Amino acid sequence: MATARSLVIVESPAKARTIAGFLGDGFVVESSIGHIRDLPKRASDIPAQYKKSSWARLGVDVENDFQPLYVVDPDKKSHIQKLKDLLKGADELFLATDEDREGESIAWHLLEVLKPKVPVKRMVFHEITRRAIEEAIEHPRELDRRLVDAQEARRILDRLYGYEVSPVLWKKVMPKLSAGRVQSVATRIIVAREQERMAFRSAQYWGIDGTFSTKAKSEPGGGKFEASLLEVDGKRVVQGKDFDDQGKLKKEDLLLLNEAAAKGLLEALEDAPAKVQSVERKPNRRSPAAPFMTSTLQQEAGRKLRFTSARTMRAAQRLYENGFITYMRTDSTTLSSAAINSARSQIEKMYGKDYLPSSPRVYKNKVKNAQEAHEAIRPAGDVFKLPEQVARQVDSDEAKLYELIWKRTIASQMADSRGESISVRINAKAKDGRDALFSVSGNTIIFPGFLRAYVEGSDDPAAELGDKEKHLPTMKEGDGLDSLSFVTQGHETQPPARYTEASLVRKLEELGVGRPSTYASIISTIQARGYVWKKGSALVPSFTAFAVVGLLEQHFGDLVDYAFTARMEDELDSIANGDESAVPWLKRFYFGQKPENDGPDDGGSGLDLGLRSLVADQLGEIDARAINSLPIGKDEQGREIVVRVGRYGAYLQREDDRASLPDDLAPDELTLEKATELLNAPSGDRELGNDPETGLPVFVRSGRFGTYVQLGEAGEGKEKPKTGSILKTMDPATMTLADALKVLSLPREVGVGPDDKVITAQLGKFGPYLRMGTDSRSLETEEQVFTVTQEEALKIFAQPRQRGRRAAAPPLKELGNDPVSGGAITLREGRFGPYVTDGETNASLRKDDDPNTITAERAHELLADRRARGPSKKKAKKKTAKKASKKTASKKTAKKASKKTAKKASKKTAKKASKKTAAGDGNGSEEGTKANASAKPVKKAPSSDSGSADLVG
């Protein structure tokens, strides 16, 4: 009798390996390797039968209830066949994808593509432990259609937004830009902060610090302490917080000390008698922070570990898939009773009963419409593994992140910290009769409570944490003090800090924009698109971002309005809850508040005109020149200086003068003085003299691809002047006419080889080389181009040709042995970027993979994914029949002529159709291979809830 077999499908190979270890021989566990199909990304993805259909432009049929057209990823076809083959031998199918909208989406797609004829069960779990997996097998559920509908609406919404608005950016700003529902709002937040910094005006103020000592020298530190000047004759001294963003005081009844006034008071305070005016003590109590959810984990890992959001989520994903933490995409701060019991048990064992509150702590979720019913992110299992136990099994990033999660979870169930804060006021009598009041605060921790396990970080690394102790000597009111010294120091107000990844995540969460699970993708996307770059940990917007945000704010205000975007998130949640229907909601958004035949207006996030009409109406009103111009000011001669965003980036313009902008120049650093300096700087273009042979002038110029020399002037009706790239050893600033003529002498004729073939020495894209007919050989140095002789050249050509350009470079990193092939895994730099290899299989790193931090586990995943896709398909070579009858040849000739005529006749029509069917690849082109994908229009089909949904192409 045959043994019953169950097929379990998860998303990733790592997750599949972990779960397979918990299940017996009756189960086969395989991964889908993420999503198996999606909306077409470019025109070439659309199968021929849909090229002229209503799906062709958007991949969504907006006229027929927004039916999406899903196409199978060509790279996944062989893997899908593998899943179908496994399904043939199974008695039941468990869809074990993550329990969120994206996981429900993947499960639904698998169901649609595999079309199983056996019972199907939805298997869900919050952690990958033996008990959790066994319980999930015993208690499956049905596919949640509400989550599917919500995911479908989200995916279609993002497609409509991106594919309608992005072409406006291509026409009015520059090609290959993209707009996205959340991506554009995140960019706007960063640009708005930079605008605040640009408008900011600093102010200067001075203060005085005094060092005092109690009379009791037996006090710790000899009774010394420092205090800051607070008041003079009852008038409070100005501090930084008293200025507005324009450098003006918010109140008039304050004392602003300049340098002279501060130094005058300093002299008057020398050896001034001082005494304690007041001592105020207050008890304080602090409670621990809630356990981590996705957004707070990203924020805290950014502050404490200096991880990017993407790096944090990669490490968390690996920890989850290997069974060390619970599901890492969650809005919940709830802990299960088993988790609370485990935490309390470890607290009592490690810290004692005094650190346990009388009852478990319960945290209320502050996130609106929390998406999932998951737990908070915590160590997996009923008994938490200690950080040192996990560190022996994972890489450095995972170990650090697990320790952070463990500490936060344990601390969340610990007792409050208790302490006492002390505020002391000290009066010092100056020689000129003025009364100076100094202040100092201290803090003493009486009982540390949760601080023994965890201290929450701060966005400002230099800021002191509130729980840090600061001891003061024992003092009471009326005590006399010795004035030891006084110092004065000038201060300058600072502009608002730029966003870091951590603070941007917090801001997005505060505004209710996007989902925590998408934040890492959003931040990666806006950097990849050139809207934002990093200066240290700060996110700096580019001038391109200013142009894009300016266009969207002026002409598509609702689409980047924070409240409007947050309201869309709420309404997508209402679809998931079953309170809203997806199709009417999409109609309101795309066609307007009252589309035809859609009944009465019932409110919601619809646009008055609808997205389609809004784009059509606004396109003609957009002044591209105005949008792409950022005024800087006028120079001393009254000439306007502006930053312009052009096809190839931003540049400065003043009348006919232009100057490039340094790539690392932040917008708030481009002052009028800096802009004038850049415009007045020598361009690097200069005339070196005349060529003795031709009499033509010789120039050294700066171009897009570097510095070059040019013989003669370019102009209409003139021959294209001869040019040549300068040598690496040449300095443009000190280059002479002789140097330039040396470059222009290339290519140099070296001599003649066999069969009277001329040998020349040249500089090429990949360095110096020799050419003889169609044969070529590399030279070792640039100088050889000018010195190599005919004899030396013939010897070089006599050597066997080296097929590779150079010897294989050593690996960048060694990552152990692959568990499948047993081969040694190495990280290498290839022609198309870094990749990992086990000697048999090569796998390129993904966009979010950092070569500096890649782990062995991640390398295993990449190699497993590459193997699952099967070997690359090569184009079949055309075979020519050796023998053919005259009749066959005649038919082929006639057929070929017919095709040629038809092709010529329909050339214009085909060109138009190509433009119309462009589903978008960032610039409307149809790049990429022809789609060898199955496609099917569907009414209910979800897809990714990740930030990539905001991309176009």
Q: Supply the residues annotated as catalytic.
A: 327
Tell which residue, 515, 547, 662, has the closest CA to residue 187.
547
Half-sphere exposure of 38 (CA within 13 A, CB side): 22
User: For residue 286, what is the DSSP state?
Assistant: E
What are 697's strand-pairing partners?
Answer: 690
| Alpha carbon distances (Å) from 188 to 196, 546, 557 | 12, 8, 11
Structure tokens at 445: 């921790």
If you search the block for the tokens 């010394």, which residue do you land on? 224
Structure tokens at 721: 């002047």
* Sign of the torsion formed by the C-alpha atoms of 23, 28, 33 and 39: negative
Cα angle 793, 795, 799; round to 5? 115
Would residue 816 be called left, alpha or beta, if left means φ above 0 and alpha means ψ between -120 and 50 degrees?
A: left
Q: How far is it, in rounded angstroms, from Cα 184 to Cα 169?
A: 12
Q: Which amino acid is at 234?
A: G
Four-point Cα dihedral 316, 317, 321, 323, nearest 10: 10
Q: How far is it, in rounded angstroms, from Cα 370 to Cα 333?
A: 10
What is the DSSP secondary-structure string of 362-391?
A: -----STT-------B-B-SSSPPPHHHHH
Q: Which residues of 528-544 are buried (b: 16+ CB within 10 A; e: fewer)?
A: ebebbbeeebbbbbbbb
Q: How far is it, in rounded angstroms, from Cα 565 to Cα 579?
A: 19
What 3-state class would DSSP assign to 783?
coil
Half-sphere exposure of 319 (CA within 13 A, CB side): 34
Q: How far is it, in rounded angstroms, from Cα 584 to Cα 887?
A: 62
Q: Are strands 37-38 and 67-72 parallel, antiparallel or unpaired?
A: antiparallel
Phi, psi dihedrals of residue 477, rounded to the nearest 5°? -55, 135
What 3-state class would DSSP assign to 763?
strand
Q: Rounded to a whole number, what is the largest CA-CA distance in the chain? A: 122
Burial of 454 per CB tally in 10 Å (0-12, 13-18, 19+)? buried
Q: Are strands 235-236 and 224-232 parallel, antiparallel or unpaired?
A: antiparallel
Q: How far is it, in rounded angstroms, from Cα 535 to Cα 541?
A: 10
Contact 651, 660 (CB under 8 A): yes
Tell which residue, 452, 235, 195, has the closest CA to residue 346.
452
**Cβ neighbours of residue 88 closer than 8 Å, sequence gap 6 or more:** none
Contact 228, 441 (CB under 8 A): no
